[in-house]
């Protein structure tokens, strides 16, 4: 482990980024699904910075109740404040808390990295929202005159409350999808907005992220028993439906649906399809049709031929260098090696290392608010 660390330091030499830390994470019996996602999140710099800021402003409340957010903040602080530049850290408290919180992750069975990421981000949002509500009610009880003012500000003209709290987790990962349905009889378009923290895309053999995104936003006709109830016609009508990205997130997380339920087999199968993911992505299926540009900074890779076993590793871009994180081990890789994780062009291939979750950061500054 120490040798691997010194090897990495030698490989980077003078180019070792000032103040950066590259630490492997110990595996506690099948916790690679957790380690690979944690590395991707650690190298999501805006998220890391806001988490560390949260930790430094909240650690004075030493008696604060332990939760997944405090455990994650503690782990990231531990890594970033190490005296050594490289090494291994045991995310013991975080894993213990995760298992305590959700029985899904208690067993030693193979877990799904995407399910874990989803659970973690939603849990962090819940904790931050509860803290904000508690702070607000404290404020209201201590200052009754202001309560009236705040209440009036929060309620809109029709008596409904303003949008829910937007946390720093939302600011990084949240985007908005709009689901448009056009009645083919009266041409009325009904649009419904949905928020998302990641996009799950269906995949096809020898495809690309761009084509998967196009399919995601393709028009679908609703007819026969799938007809749409049009409020204007007051009846079921044939309609066209499509999903577009209304507001792209600052950090775009794309989950490739590599595990598919096969009816005939009565079980899930891993799709090893070759799906090209570019280092720079232009997102064009947005409502405004303005292209949003993104840069790839992390990939969670599933290694193995089936859905119920295997291993997770992650590739991370940090200060223009690509690194390979496999639990305790960290090594430098060439940028060209990223394409070896696209998938296999043939059904049966010896290569079972396939990109599963992709993390892109927006190159525009407009989303950083």
Residues annotated as part of the active site: 32, 311
Concatenate the DSSP letters of all residues of 36-98 into one string: HHHHHHHT-HHHHHHHHHHHHHHTT-TTPPP-HHHHHHHHHHHHHT-SSSEEEE--HHHHHHH
In the chain, DSSP finds a helix count (H) and a strand count (E) of 9, 20
**Alpha-carbon span 367 to 112, nearest angstrom:** 29
d(CA 224, CA 264): 26
Return d(Cα 55, Cα 79) in angstroms, integer.
Answer: 13
**Which residues, at least 6 apart from 157, have a Cβ–Cβ distance to it below 8 Å?**
none
Neighbouring-strand partners of residue 275: 207
Contact 209, 342 (CB under 8 A): no
Q: Which residues are paired to 333 by β-bridges?
A: 322
Distances (CA, A) of 14 to 8, 9, 17, 297: 12, 9, 8, 22
CA 367, CA 196: separation in Å to the nearest integer?
15
Strand 251-256 and strand 239-247: the pairing is unpaired
| Alpha helices (runs of H) in 197-255, residue ranges in sequence order | 209-216
How many Å separate Cα 141 from the centre of its chain? 37
d(CA 333, CA 47): 24
Measured between alpha carbons, how far is 27 from 125 in angstroms, rounded to an integer?
26
Rounded Cα distance, 358 and 297, in Å: 8
Q: Say if residues 269 and 263 touch (Cβ distance below 8 Å).
A: no
Contact in structure between 242 and 217 (CB atoms under 8 Å): yes
């Amino acid at each position: 482990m120490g040798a691997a660390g010194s090897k990495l330091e030698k490989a980077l030499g003078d180019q070792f980024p000032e103040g950066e830390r590259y630490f492997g994470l110990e595996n506690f019996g099948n916790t690679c699904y957790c380690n690979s996602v944690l590395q991707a999140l650690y190298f999501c710099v805006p998220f890391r910075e806001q988490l560390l800021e949260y930790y430094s402003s909240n650690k004075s409340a030493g008696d604060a109740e332990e939760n997944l957010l405090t455990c994650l903040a503690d782990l990231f602080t531990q890594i970033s404040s190490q005296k050594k530049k490289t090494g291994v850290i045991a995310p013991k408290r975080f894993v213990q808390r995760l298992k305590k919180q959700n029985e899904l992750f208690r067993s030693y069975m193979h877990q799904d990295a995407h399910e874990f990421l989803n659970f973690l981000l939603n849990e962090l949002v819940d904790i931050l929202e509860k803290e904000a509500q508690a702070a607000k009610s404290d404020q209201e009880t201590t200052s009754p005159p202001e309560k009236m003012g705040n209440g009036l500000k929060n309620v809109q003209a029709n008596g409904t409350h303003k949008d829910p709290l937007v946390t720093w987790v939302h600011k990084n990962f949240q985007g908005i999808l709009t689901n448009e349905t056009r009645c083919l009889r009266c041409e009325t378009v009904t649009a419904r907005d949905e928020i998302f923290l990641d996009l799950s895309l269906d995949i096809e053999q020898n495809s690309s992220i761009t084509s998967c995104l196009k399919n995601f936003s393709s028009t679908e006709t609703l007819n026969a028993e799938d007809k749409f109830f049009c409020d204007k016609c007051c009846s079921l009508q044939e309609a066209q439906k499509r999903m577009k990205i209304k507001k792209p997130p600052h950090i775009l997380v794309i989950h490739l649906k590599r595990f598919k339920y096969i009816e005939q087999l009565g079980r899930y199968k891993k799709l090893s399809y070759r799906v090209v993911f570019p280092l720079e992505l232009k997102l064009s299926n947005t409502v405004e049709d303005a292209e949003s540009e993104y840069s790839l900074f992390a990939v969670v890779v599933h290694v193995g031929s089936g859905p119920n076993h295997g291993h997770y590793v992650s590739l991370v871009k940090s200060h223009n260098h690509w690194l390979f994180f496999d639990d305790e081990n960290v090594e430098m890789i060439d940028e060209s090696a990223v394409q070896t994780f696209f998938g296999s062009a043939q059904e049966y291939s010896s290569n079972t290392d396939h990109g599963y979750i992709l993390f892109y950061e927006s190159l525009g500054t407009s989303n950083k608010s």
